[in-house]
Structure 1
């Protein structure tokens, strides 16, 4: 393997002291009834009811394996605490993000290339996991299960009523904004809700991923590029959005934006599928669609931002991978995947004939063809406060200062990763 091990204790990071006592049963063990117990710790607390149903179905149909799925509050902190204590769950259910990269880089996760289910996973999501890790990895360290997507959410009924068409280029998007302002002066073209800084990352990811090389972070870490050479135009487009949004978007939070969009105060909302349950809690009858952010230079080059929202990662210490693989195979059966995506409005990472939520009708061709890229912020160091830097840039309208600070802070907060990337490249 190209990656170098680091101390597992370093993974604890900001783990709360109170999480230290939240320990479960440990790696695959044999129960008193002779069954092998497989423990999954998942970070998807909102899917507890689905997991309970799947766990019940699995245990009713298997007499040699007992499945135990836990979804604790602050699950990632619990995982890190358990790793420090070397009390590993058999399987962890996490997204394809920075935590996954840290766990992989620390040699905690097993190579699951031999898991039969891998053959059914869309190549695009295997590639996305590869792109998240800090250095090129030999092997596969997670079995992608479901994904989410981000782009531009829009009010389908409002679009149909006015005859508005989905834009395919940035110029067409701006023209649509102006058309809405002209035809519906009481409706904002978009709502932003930038008080919560993390919400700024949704449009940033969608705009920027269509405009910069997909391996830009890696090239910067190698020392071959600077963000300032690529991030200026995306930053300027982020500023341009302010002209067509609610006045003073920095005074309104995520919930405010979801509520305003649900009530028809805006025609569009640049966010992800994860926001739809919140929107529908305000207006259950709303007809919501999503289209790719039209920021690519050529319309045919547009991509949909889609990240691995949940994957099954196996602990390196797991002694009964055959039992774990039987569990993963069960969870990946078409009817069980369909149950999950129906409940969570998710996108399956597995090949097959699935019925997607109507939300994804307009991005389905991109998803089916694998024209997807991961969320850029999955590879941003959390200590750098990238969302706050974007907010400052938008408030001050100073792109030059933003670009300078971004490059300087990247070198400061990403030092250890940069060393690993460059060392791996030399090897």
Structure 2
């Protein structure tokens, strides 16, 4: 069943003749030195130096297991091709997104509920993984490792010089934008030429204005996007009043550069943009606050998603060794090694250093007031980023209505089989009562 599902989902990969160069054999065999080989494939090539350091430290301290961590370019393509060939690594390190959902639905992952490290994961991130399940499953199938956060970046020195305060409600946010605009400074930079950047404020607003399981509720027939996303659509359009003229003419790189040069007081993007911004202005004093989407601060939610998590493949032949690797990777020291290189938020409970740039979000992280990116549930075929850009470009009176109706119709088009599967499951549960 697993092979059939994964082949159906990934036939396009083969049809396009994706390159299989660099594939390695299954890492479950004993090495010549008698050690058990455990292979981890990570989708994050930017973290290769951190993984090389972690791999070296593990191998220097273990006599019976040899760990190999690879972080190839186009890792997801390589993984999908390997899955079709039934050439599985032991562990994969991927994000908490639609790829994880698809692999889990194809029954490729081992239940790791009995792994001691699972008990130390922050509840919010375990909940995010459960919401990524198309059909509810008993067990735990990933070990959340590191997370990111998205809200509004701001120029801390500019705020201090002008006496501007970080807003905690939507009314405070729009009033601040008005005040900044009146001072002659541009409140926001958007950079919507690259359509994916439209998803940054969309996600950060949506987590505070919608239920975290909105997509599943739509699949069950309990709501529609036209109903659920209406306030999100209104508020993302409001941002245009405070942004650069024609934001669709400026790319992500343009926006990062403009913000780095002090051309705006704020930038609606995630913390992942900070390295790019600091490449232009290394000394910039950057802060980041949770998008205050509501007029009651208690209703606001931090947009935080799992940037990296670890799943053991069902095909792994030595789960005891794989578990030993996971326990090592989940030690405080190893997690901090990764965070020191990549930044972000530890998904493990504990006293981990948090970047100064995220200190305004610390209480949300501490209190588990976090919710996943809505787009982690969107099929790529929908091109929701382009849909949002088209909506924002549309100045017609019925722009929002057209956008949300298209959202619902496209969702049904691209998720027809999933919707049927979810509703059949729902009926089975009701019949069993």
Could you say which TM-score interval applies, normalised by the shorter chain?
A: over 0.9
The 1:14–1:365 alpha-carbon spacing in structure 2 relative to 1, beyond 3 Å, is farther
- Taking the TM superposition and a 5 Å limit, the aligned residue runs for 1:5-16 are 7-15=5-13
Kindly indicate whether residue 168 of structure 2 is the aligned counterpart of residue 148 of structure 1. Answer: no
Task: Report what 1:422 is aligned to.
Answer: 423
For 2:27 and 2:421, locate their aligned partners in 1 and report how far apart those are by CA, in whole Å: 30
CA offsets, 1:294-313, max 9 Å, x none? 01242112110111100011
- Taking the TM superposition and a 5 Å limit, the aligned residue runs for 1:326-345 are 326-345=324-343
Kindly indicate whether residue 402 of structure 2 is the aligned counterpart of residue 401 of structure 1. Answer: yes
Offset of residue 292 of structure 1: 0.7
CA offsets, 1:355-406, max 9 Å, x none? 1110110001111111100000000111111111100000013111101111
Task: Report what 1:91 is aligned to.
Answer: 91
For 1:6 and 1:425, locate their aligned partners in 2 and report how far apart those are by CA, in whole Å: 24
8 Å CA contact 2:30, 2:36 repeated in 1? yes
For 2:333 and 2:178, locate their aligned partners in 1 and report how far apart those are by CA, in whole Å: 45
The 1:366–1:356 alpha-carbon spacing in structure 2 relative to 1, beyond 3 Å, is same
CA offsets, 1:81-133, max 9 Å, x none? 00000000000000000000000000011111111111111111000111112
8 Å CA contact 2:225, 2:404 repeated in 1? yes
Task: Report what 1:232 is aligned to.
Answer: 230
Instruction: Give unpaired runs (5+ residues) of structure 2.
Output: 429-433
Task: Report what 2:385 is aligned to.
Answer: 387
Which residue among 260, 263, 267 is the counterpart of 2:261? 263
Report the secondary structure of 1:138's partner residue.
coil
CA offsets, 1:116-168, max 9 Å, x none? 11111111100011111212121111001100010111111111111100111
Task: Report what 2:431 is aligned to.
Answer: none
Report the secondary structure of 2:25's partner residue.
coil
Report the secondary structure of 2:20's partner residue.
helix
Which residue among 342, 358, 370 is the counterpart of 1:372? 370
For 1:84 and 1:283, locate their aligned partners in 2 and report how far apart those are by CA, in whole Å: 45
For 1:118 and 1:188, locate their aligned partners in 2 and report how far apart those are by CA, in whole Å: 45
Runs of at least 4 residues off by over 6 Å: none
Report the secondary structure of 1:421's partner residue.
helix
Task: Report what 2:79 is aligned to.
Answer: 79
For 1:292 and 1:279, locate their aligned partners in 2 and report how far apart those are by CA, in whole Å: 19
8 Å CA contact 1:88, 1:317 repeated in 2? yes
- Taking the TM superposition and a 5 Å limit, the aligned residue runs for 1:169-184 are 169-183=169-183
For 1:9 and 1:174, locate their aligned partners in 2 and report how far apart those are by CA, in whole Å: 49
Offset of residue 6 of structure 1: 5.1
Aligned residues: 423
8 Å CA contact 1:144, 1:310 repeated in 2? yes
Offset of residue 171 of structure 1: 1.2
Instruction: Give unpaired runs (5+ residues) of structure 1.
Output: none
- Taking the TM superposition and a 5 Å limit, the aligned residue runs for 1:63-212 are 63-183=63-183, 185=184, 187-212=185-210
For 1:88 and 1:67, locate their aligned partners in 2 and report how far apart those are by CA, in whole Å: 15
For 2:306 and 2:130, locate their aligned partners in 1 and report how far apart those are by CA, in whole Å: 11
Report the secondary structure of 1:210's partner residue.
helix
8 Å CA contact 1:11, 1:84 repeated in 2? no
Report the secondary structure of 2:197's partner residue.
helix
8 Å CA contact 1:143, 1:312 repeated in 2? yes
8 Å CA contact 1:205, 1:305 repeated in 2? yes
Task: Report what 1:60 is aligned to.
Answer: 60
- Taking the TM superposition and a 5 Å limit, the aligned residue runs for 1:340-355 are 340-355=338-353
Offset of residue 214 of structure 1: 2.1
8 Å CA contact 1:201, 1:387 repeated in 2? yes
For 2:7 and 2:126, locate their aligned partners in 1 and report how far apart those are by CA, in whole Å: 28
For 2:12 and 2:172, locate their aligned partners in 1 and report how far apart those are by CA, in whole Å: 45
Report the secondary structure of 2:124's partner residue.
helix
Offset of residue 20 of structure 1: 2.5
8 Å CA contact 1:27, 1:317 repeated in 2? no
Task: Report what 1:279 is aligned to.
Answer: 277
8 Å CA contact 1:156, 1:289 repeated in 2? yes
8 Å CA contact 1:12, 1:77 repeated in 2? no
**Deviating more after overlay: 14-23 vs 300-309:** 14-23
For 1:5 and 1:378, locate their aligned partners in 2 and report how far apart those are by CA, in whole Å: 24
For 1:192 and 1:276, locate their aligned partners in 2 and report how far apart those are by CA, in whole Å: 15
**Deviating more after overlay: 13-22 vs 129-138:** 13-22
